[in-house]
Amino acid sequence: MHINLSGKTALVTGSTQGIGLAIAKGLASSGARVAINGRSATSVQRAVDHLAATVDGANLVSVPADVTTDEGVAAVQAQLPGVDILVNNVGIFEAVPALEIDDEAWRRFFEVNVLSAARLSRTYLPGMIERSWGRVLNIASDSAVVTPVEMIHYGMSKTALLAVTRGFAKAASGSGVTVNSVIAGPTHTAGVEDFVYQLVDKALPWDQAQRQFMIEHRPQSLLQRLIEPEEIANMVVYLSSPLASATTGGALRVDGGYVDSILP
């Protein structure tokens, strides 16, 4: 399958590491002009340098800003008045017992994981509709469907993100613009390594720690391993392409079979 995104501009939030960086690499490898976003200019430049060294002819833009704030989104829009592909990837997670999650944590998870995506969609969707082409992708999680007892505030935010996705897809109905979410399963990133070690013996070597985590905390996984970020990126690149023109309003799973459902 040949995917050519030449002439398209993509913004990937939280793209200095992990899944976001893998998505940025996938889009750049397919010819898109990719805006790299993170909160600090240093981390953004590090990611840009990495991608420039690993993707031949990569067309990259540095957009340092905190997109979880009004001011940050305004700064991004000033540099990027319009985009063709918006990937709302930025997000946070942490393990906290349910009865210890205070009001501020509930607000923070909603602000970062939900409202940032809604705000950026509201910012860029009108231009896509006007041009009769565009893609909005929200990176959700298996936790949207299978609420994890160790972080129900995170699960709540990802469930809300599915609703946001479906709603904006309806707002773009008949325009040629598609809006979808990608349900990522347990994925191997530096942040997830830290999370795993919150739940298993810190003295274990990584391979053993990962295995114990999957057995004890994610036994539903049919893959029985953590997913690599590039595997999430592959789905995002496809959904960003003209090949996915009839897929909208969906929640597509790249979860290793974690969610026990026969529907996507």
Catalytic residue annotation: 154
- Identify whether the C-beta of residue 199 lies closer than 8 Å to the C-beta of residue 150: yes
3-state secondary structure the chain: CCCCCCCCEEEECCCCCHHHHHHHHHHHHCCCEEEEEECCHHHHHHHHHHHHHHCCCCEEEEEECCCCCHHHHHHHHHHCCCCCEEEECCCCCCCCCHHHCCHHHHHHHHHHHHHHHHHHHHHHHHHHHHHCCEEEEEEEEHHHCCCCCCCHHHHHHHHHHHHHHHHHHHHCCCCCEEEEEEEECCECCHHHHHHHHHHCCCCCCHHHHHHHHHHHHCCCCCCCCCECHHHHHHHHHHHCCHHHCCCCCCEEEECCCCCCCCCC
Nearest-angstrom CA–CA distance, 182 and 136? 11
Question: Is 230 exposed, middle or buried (CB count within 10 Å of its CB: 0-12, 13-18, 19+)?
Answer: middle
